[in-house]
Structure 1
Amino acid sequence: MRLRQATLTTFRDLGVTPEIADALETEGIVSPFPIQEMALPLALSGQDLIGQARTGTGKTYAFGIAMLQGIGKPRKNRKKPRGLVVVPTRELAVQVSEDLVTAAGKLGSRVLTVYGGRAYEPQVEALKAGVDVVVGTPGRLLDLVKQKHLDLSQVTSLVLDEADRMLDLGFLPDVERIFKLVPAERQTMLFSATMPGEVVGLSRKYLNRPTHIRAEHESGEGEATPQVRQLVWRTHRMDKIEIVSRLLQADGRGLTMVFCETKRACDMVAEQLDTRGFAVAAVHGDLGQGQREQALRAFRNGKIDVLVATDVAARGIDIDDVTHVVNYDCPTDDKTYVHRIGRTGRAGRTGIAVTFVEWEELTRWKMINNMLGLDFAEPEETYSTSPHVYTELNIPEGTKGVLPHANRSRAGLSAEHLEDLGETGRGRGRGGRRRDERDHDRDRERDRERPARTQRQRRRTRGGKELAETAPVETSEVELVDAQAEETPAIFTPDEVGAVSAQPKRVRTRRGAASTAIEQALSVAPEPALAPAGAPADGAVAEAPPESFPVEAPARATRSRRTAAKASAPVTTGAEQAPPVAEQAQAAAEQAPVAKRAPVAEQAPVVERAPVAERAGGVAERQEMRMQAEPEPSFLAPPPPAPVRQPERIIPPSPFAVIFQSPDLATDDDDIAPSAASERKQQRRQSRGGGGNRRRAG
């Protein structure tokens, strides 16, 4: 706060120590204001005070100088604070701390600011290192006391700044708790621009024979600053933003503050002014503390020239070069009106205050007008095109509601660094952001890479069970051949057919397919004679003539215990070397039940007859028991139905291509494909020893 009012008195004449007086003179503060001249002698003597003066008249130095001088120079063995200043808002706490640091420049007093919205750790560390004066809001002060980081038992000077506002915000219970935490033997000072009856009652309860100092004119208690030229207009809600846009282009306009009643209205006004090209920022309770301080720093440094705020910035904020104040919404009472327009015309300067009053707010404004004794009982009806708007505000003719690009020279809010305070507050609302900041956020969201999708692990399952990686893949029974292929493999040689037949293949478990293979084998095999159950076998299965089996569709071999036994025994046949067709016929015959493959008289002799005969007899007995338990089709039964017609072989013109025409293989006897539940039931039966294929396989 810079006070340049010229008087015949200096701070040295009032009894201020040379260290403090020199620090003030270094900052250009030489002569005191009336409230300082009246309050400093009493405050330096240790008396309790109630100070009342207009905004911008130096109330902070009136109690700050007396507090710093009473505490004296800091000492190493003194950790607990000796001075306490309680303020209603965070912004006011920062401003009071800056003024106290300025006054204590030569003394070296340690001043700490504590308020909500900041991290606890830096404040706790400063308290442990030791402080002389603590400036803070009631909520954070009581939190630190509750956590036993702050001890107020040695406070000798207590100050309530803007005491009336503290009572309006509901801080009375917290203030009373703070009064009970400080010692009874102390100096207490209350300062405010307005002094309602509640503050007087509080002073009677907690102050000791206070002296009421009132540096005001005789015209009224809350008289507005005389250096401010006031304009009150009756406007329409939809036209107010247009009037503000023209007002911001007036000649000689400096920093401007626009006050709104609600947070939503504050965001809306800031957003619309930003759209029209003005360097603007918003300050209200929904913003984080870092964002609020960023906006105030940018406003003080001149990076923005318009500050849209609620009443949170209407108390105690001292910013140089504020030339215009706009009450976008009509104030609620006369005290709010006085504090709002007190942001301009400070320290001997002049300013302009414009108040918009809507039709439904006329009754409220008449009450404010009567309380303050103003001459605006009937505000003039005003629109953005009214001629008196241009003449009274010194706006150039032809000015529109959008700032020309040539006049957009401010750096903007984004040029001010956003300090990380370790806060957990809420984010910025709708307004108060520049277009480049919003565009940057949209581009960042658009360019943000999506997280890579995790690869889905696919597993092969059958019947609810997972298959092993090495499990054989089931192939289809019929392979479709593309008839439009230009070239196909040549006719298969006997060696290739034998190699394919020798490969292990998955056994089909469908009974319909197994029955079809058995019927096909019986239709082409000769009828053998039934041997007695206990008789030894004379030999192996007789070979069938080559003409009995087609070459195109060789039957698949099913591996069983009987087959393994026969493969292990050496067999001699009549022919020294059988053609591949005969080998395929023998494999198909082995797939039939054992009762159908009884030895015949024409079979070739077998080496080592005795062991083979014993095995054959045992197998026959077991097979007869199975036939009794589960009846199997016998060769004595009526002849089986005609086999399925084999696909016709079409001989193409080219001898190097073989094309098969696949007929319709579906018949009435085909079984319906089993469901998953049926397959699981069949698997459980097989695991208990049941199952048609295993029984037939032996």
Structure 2
Amino acid sequence: MPQARPPSRPTSSGTVTTPALASRRPHRRGSTLTTTFRELGILPETAEALEAVGIINPFPIQEMTLPVALSGTDVIGQAKTGTGKTLGFGLPLLERVTVPADVEAGRAKPEALTDAPQALVVVPTRELCTQVTNDLLTAGKVRNVRVAAIYGGRAYEPQVEALKKGVDVVVGTPGRLLDLAGQKKLDLKHVKCLVLDEADEMLDLGFLPDVEKIIDMLPAKRQTMLFSATMPGAVIGLARRYMSRPTHIRATAPDDEGVTVANIKQFVYRAHSMDKPEMVARILQAEGRGLAMIFCRTKRTAADIAEQLQHRGFASGAVHGDLGQGAREQALRAFRNGKVDVLVCTDVAARGIDVEGVTHVINYQSPEDEKTYLHRVGRTGRAGAKGTAITFVDWDDIPRWQLINKALQLDFNDPVETYSSSPHLFSDLGIPEGTKGVLPRSERTRAGLAAEELEDLGETGGRGSRGRRSPGVSAENERPARTPRRRRRTRSGTPLDSSVTTNTATADTGAAEATESVERRTPRRRRRMRGGAPVEATAAPVTPATAEPAAPEATKVAETVVETVEATEPKPRRRRTRKTAEPVPVAPEATAATEAPPAAAETAVDTAEATEAKP
């Protein structure tokens, strides 16, 4: 039987705390709270759904949160990443939702049923949105709770259709939620429970104004739960404005006093940027290595490292902001399904992503601050499992790392200078001797990213791969190649395509057809003009006349020319043209005289000179 919960008492700060928290006694499992979800008082259908997937015993944050949240009190939950905050707020949220199964069981009246959302969960990233949605669907499977994921990067129509059909719980990112609410497609007037997950990350990403607008659309009478790994001042200010006498629950394990989870082994090395890919390739071949996540600061570095690891034989995928939503979800699905065992990502995947079996986390580039370090490292060692975290620090990043080291009270103020051939790298991480930077072909057993289907999400905003084809995208999913422009060659107004195509008809008649096509091809004719009259008309009779000139005829022509010159008056000599020669009946003969033998030509010239010399 569950023990009775002692009455809460207000503190001077206006919040409500439990006696266990007020006395600052460390919580030990089984000391003050019960140890199974059924005994915590959740609905039997929910407990049955959790037991079906092997979830029976709660974690400390869940044990401490459920009794308070089930009573309807506002809650601020603070715990380390990877300790089960999702079910800490998810189970009370599902209890507040009324579904037809509750009416059949007699727990609710039919008037309480509605197709509008009754609970709202706001998360900072798309990946966390899909994960929380899946967790809530798992817990509410027996009761058939309808959960919809609303986030950007996907087409509007499927999300609007889901809202029209009716949903009980909406999980979404601030931008798309505010967009649909502004279009009157999302009705928030019936929301009875609001959850802000990873609130500090939403503030860091600049979502605070959007979150405040969403909260202003909700009914004033509601339960509000805020969960986060860290509690900066802005989050506390948000809680004071929008929460009513919240209970602040901070759960830690009795044997885990540090900031990071105790079962994560941490190593920090001072590494050279040119040697980092080789070091990563050797670390990925360590003994007992399961799934691995590699974190980078920039999108370009993440894409480059994923490509290098593929060339080295590893089944790797990438998740960063330059990829479309379809490619990001494809990589995450392949990682969860085991088709890819190395996921290279930016800090977009460092928040709340829970993948079972992650044993190694590698910080390829030093994180910006201590919060980023905590969330990156928290991808391993989740739910009580053990993990290994390796951080590479460049020489330029030493001052930043020393601040992180001091804030987290770690013991790596001066990282050891390490290269891919350093003996202590092999001994620290259990890398077999003689390991090189290329995965042997016998160990390449993963299906790879290409084996995971790329889902067409009807993405908006045109955020594709920006000129770079993401690994695993098949050619048939891409835009078909543009048909090359064909230029039609014509000659004298007739196309040449017919004559060209007939040349390649058959091999036997190829030569004959080629000859015929050449004969059929009419040569290009240029009309020569002289003095405005075409030359071809006069040139035709000239050609036969000048074919075979004879010497005696040439002598007679020369005498005729002399007589003509004598008959004419002396005037300046003009060059004879064919136009002036047209009315002269002896034009063909005169033309022939121009091509007469040299002797006849000289005689004609001498006679003309003698005639001009006479007085």
TM normalised by structure 1 equals 0.65
Q: 1:48 touches 1:188 (CA, 8 Å); kept in 2?
A: yes
What does residue 316 of structure 2 align with? Answer: 280
Kindly state the Cα deviation for residue 516 of structure 1 after the two structures are TM-superposed. Answer: 3.1
Query: CA distance change for structure 1 residues 432 and 312 in 2, over 3 Å: closer, same or farther?
Result: farther
Query: CA distance change for structure 1 residues 48 and 647 in 2, over 3 Å: closer, same or farther?
Result: farther
SS in 2 for 1:644: helix
Query: CA distance change for structure 1 residues 481 and 250 in 2, over 3 Å: closer, same or farther?
Result: farther
Percent sequence identity over aligned pairs = 58
What does residue 478 of structure 1 align with? Answer: 539
Identify which of 23, 27, 32 aligns with 2:53.
27
SS in 2 for 1:308: strand
Query: CA distance change for structure 1 residues 457 and 48 in 2, over 3 Å: closer, same or farther?
Result: farther
Identify which of 580, 591, 601 aligns with 1:645.
591
Kindly state the Cα deviation for residue 477 of structure 1 after the two structures are TM-superposed. Answer: 3.0
Q: 2:256 touches 2:262 (CA, 8 Å); kept in 1?
A: no
Kindly state the Cα deviation for residue 195 of structure 1 after the two structures are TM-superposed. Answer: 1.3
Identify which of 375, 395, 404 aligns with 1:368.
404
Identify which of 190, 207, 214 aligns with 2:250.
214
What does residue 418 of structure 1 align with? Answer: 454
Kindly state the Cα deviation for residue 128 of structure 1 after the two structures are TM-superposed. Answer: 0.9
State yes or no: 1:154 paired with 2:100.
no
State yes or no: 1:384 paired with 2:384.
no
Cα deviation 1:323-350 (Å, max 9, x = unaligned)? 0000111111111111111100111110
What does residue 40 of structure 1 align with? Answer: 66
State yes or no: 1:404 paired with 2:468.
no
The answer for unaligned runs of 5 or more in structure 2 is 1-27, 101-109, 494-526, 528-533, 548-575, 602-615
Kindly state the Cα deviation for residue 429 of structure 1 after the two structures are TM-superposed. Answer: 5.8
Kindly state the Cα deviation for residue 647 of structure 1 after the two structures are TM-superposed. Answer: 6.6
Kindly state the Cα deviation for residue 457 of structure 1 after the two structures are TM-superposed. Answer: 6.4
What does residue 371 of structure 2 align with? Answer: 335
What does residue 53 of structure 1 align with? Answer: 79
What does residue 94 of structure 2 align with? Answer: 68
Q: How does 1:556-595 map to 2 (within 5 A)?
A: none
Q: 2:544 and 2:396 mapped to 1: Cα distance? A: 88
Kindly state the Cα deviation for residue 81 of structure 1 after the two structures are TM-superposed. Answer: 0.6
Question: Given residue 278 of structure 1, which amino acid in structure 2 is its aligned partner?
Answer: F
Kindly state the Cα deviation for residue 72 of structure 1 after the two structures are TM-superposed. Answer: 2.2
Cα deviation 1:420-443 (Å, max 9, x = unaligned)? 000033222688955xx59x769x
Kindly state the Cα deviation for residue 221 of structure 1 after the two structures are TM-superposed. Answer: 8.9
SS in 2 for 1:238: coil
Which protein is bigger by CA-based radius of gyration?
1
Kindly state the Cα deviation for residue 649 of structure 1 after the two structures are TM-superposed. Answer: 11
What stretches of structure 1 move > 6 A for 4+ residues in a row?
Answer: 218-222, 457-460, 480-483, 647-650
Query: CA distance change for structure 1 residues 168 and 448 in 2, over 3 Å: closer, same or farther?
Result: closer
Identify which of 462, 465, 473 aligns with 1:428.
465
What does residue 251 of structure 1 align with? Answer: 287
Q: 1:267 touches 1:432 (CA, 8 Å); kept in 2?
A: no
Question: Given residue 322 of structure 2, which amino acid in structure 1 is its aligned partner?
Answer: D
Q: 1:482 and 1:94 mapped to 2: Cα distance? A: 94
What does residue 451 of structure 1 align with? Answer: 484
Question: Given residue 516 of structure 1, which amino acid in structure 2 is its aligned partner?
Answer: A
Q: 1:475 and 1:220 mapped to 2: Cα distance? A: 108
Identify which of 204, 225, 241 aligns with 1:205.
241
TM normalised by structure 2 equals 0.74
SS in 2 for 1:645: helix
State yes or no: 1:191 paired with 2:227.
yes
SS in 1 for 2:322: coil
Question: Given residue 84 of structure 2, which amino acid in structure 1 is its aligned partner?
Answer: G
What does residue 304 of structure 2 align with? Answer: 268
Q: 1:397 and 1:152 mapped to 2: Cα distance? A: 60
Q: 2:384 and 2:196 mapped to 1: Cα distance? A: 25
The answer for unaligned runs of 5 or more in structure 1 is 461-466, 468-472, 486-510, 524-549, 554-642, 651-662, 664-698
Identify which of 258, 265, 268 aligns with 1:229.
265
Q: How does 1:302-317 map to 2 (within 5 A)?
A: 302-317=338-353
Question: Given residue 13 of structure 1, which amino acid in structure 2 is its aligned partner?
Answer: E
Q: 1:160 touches 1:191 (CA, 8 Å); kept in 2?
A: yes
SS in 2 for 1:237: coil
Q: How does 1:675-694 map to 2 (within 5 A)?
A: none
Q: 1:255 touches 1:323 (CA, 8 Å); kept in 2?
A: yes
Question: Given residue 581 of structure 2, which amino acid in structure 1 is its aligned partner?
Answer: T
Q: 1:221 and 1:429 mapped to 2: Cα distance? A: 45
Cα deviation 1:264-299 (Å, max 9, x = unaligned)? 111121122122111111111111000000000011
Identify which of 193, 198, 218 aligns with 1:182.
218
SS in 2 for 1:347: helix
Kindly state the Cα deviation for residue 482 of structure 1 after the two structures are TM-superposed. Answer: 11
SS in 1 for 2:538: coil
What does residue 101 of structure 1 align with? Answer: 137
Kindly state the Cα deviation for residue 197 of structure 1 after the two structures are TM-superposed. Answer: 1.4
Q: 1:279 touches 1:305 (CA, 8 Å); kept in 2?
A: yes
Which sits farther off after the overlay, 191-200 or 131-140?
191-200
Question: Given residue 584 of structure 2, which amino acid in structure 1 is its aligned partner?
Answer: Q
Q: 2:29 touches 2:60 (CA, 8 Å); kept in 1?
A: no
Q: 2:307 and 2:176 mapped to 1: Cα distance? A: 32
State yes or no: 1:116 paired with 2:116.
no
Q: 1:413 touches 1:433 (CA, 8 Å); kept in 2?
A: no
SS in 1 for 2:366: coil
Q: 1:190 and 1:647 mapped to 2: Cα distance? A: 116
Query: CA distance change for structure 1 residues 333 and 431 in 2, over 3 Å: closer, same or farther?
Result: farther
Kindly state the Cα deviation for residue 514 of structure 1 after the two structures are TM-superposed. Answer: 5.6
State yes or no: 1:520 paired with 2:584.
yes
